[in-house]
Chains A and B, each alone.
Chain A
Amino acid sequence: MNWTCDLIEARLSDYLEGLLQGPERAAFEAHTNSCADCAPLVAGVRGLVGEMHSMEELETPPRLVYSILDKTLRPRETVTGWQGFLNAIRGLATPKFAYGGASVMATLIILLGASNFSLRKPKLADLRPAAIYQKANQQAHLVIAHSVKYVSDLRVVYEIQSRLRQDENHLQTTPEEMMPKPSEKSPGQTDKQKPSQPRQQNRANEVSRQLELLAAEFPVLSERSVR
């Protein structure tokens, strides 16, 4: 058989897929090796087929499956009447929806609580925006006042505790140390050589005065700490 360029083209895929055997294959290769037109064609098609075989499939767009199911499955499952209503309710019973519902309820309760709205004796007047604002404002001020008082009380308690601790430390020191030294200045006296000393002295005087006051106010605590 005379292998012309047309025949090479016609049998090209057979050759690439290994369907040409023996003398046919040898004749095909003999022609393509010597033909300036067929050689690049065979090389080009071989490369193209190799490239197409290695091309990966595209990923399915994420919404495509749902779009298909929406278009096909839903009409078949459409029901009317009570069954449809129950299906709709069942569709809402998801954790996401429950979480959303709980959040909305919590927000409503907080808002109603802040506006002083009574659920036992609901009044339409209580739901006016001006009344809600006024009551919410009042509630907010009350909350702030309570918070300030609480912080203040905490500070007083902390102050008392720290003073008592200081007092205990003071009593544990030796009596000699407690005794005033003859060289020490009397309360309020300034020392020109050591300018920081009068300030310390004043603070000590202040502490002792406050301890006396504490002892007077809380005799029980004072007795316990002395023991």
Chain B
Amino acid sequence: MEQDAQLVQQCLQGDGSAWEELVRRHTRRIFNICYRFTGNRTDAEDLSQDVFLRVYRTLGSYRSAHGGFATWATSVTRNLLIDHYRRTKRDRITDSLDDKMPVVENKESAGRRPDEQALLGELSMQVQSALTRLSPELREAVILRDLQQLEYAEIQTVLAVPEGTVKSRINRGRIELARILQQMGVRPA
């Protein structure tokens, strides 16, 4: 955390290598949040680039007193993911109509590359597919808590909602996800 704040200061003084270090330290985490939210590797890469572009442009507005750089970058990521969700709403309506067709596997997992499938593992892949069916509010809460394993206070900062709302969303998200998996015929042990 201290090191991030120091790197940010160096970036603001025009140190390119400090920025490179910041990017290297946080790319994997940001990419994973984007991937878990969208369920699409290409979208996740594009969104990760957009996140860092925005972070780079607004680095001057970052204040370490308001939380760690990671939390701040996660907030930026979350805002962009919600924007992306709204932008692609029309495509998803078409997808949801397709989802009503009686198919065993849903579209995301069926369209996934074989190497990606091998990487994720079957159960993880099904959990990932189920995640993309959750509402964005519940999805982001579950991703931050159960996949990124953030503390409630950090999630509260990222989502800018009270702690009670955070807990409620996480709980509802988990129950909803378990029910989706049950509908898919998946039973996590």
Contact = CB atoms under 8 A, between A and B. Distances in A.
Nearest to B20: A69
A41 B127 CA distance: 16
Contacts of A44: 178-179, 181-182, 187-188
A71 B46 CA distance: 11
Main DSSP-derived SS at the B contact region: helix
Interface string B109-153: 000000000011001100100000000000000100011010000
A156 interface: no
B73 interface: no
Interface residues of A, number: 31
A14 B171 CA distance: 8
A49 B32 contact: no
A64 B188 contact: no
Contacts, number: 100
10 contacts: A9-B175, A45-B178, A48-B174, A50-B188, A61-B41, A65-B23, A68-B48, A72-B19, A73-B16, A73-B20
Contact of A65 (B27, B178, B188): B27
Contacts of A49: 146, 174
A10 interface: yes
Nearest to A74: B16
Contacts of B119: 58
A44 B27 CA distance: 32
Nearest to A15: B171
A73 to B, nearest CB: 5
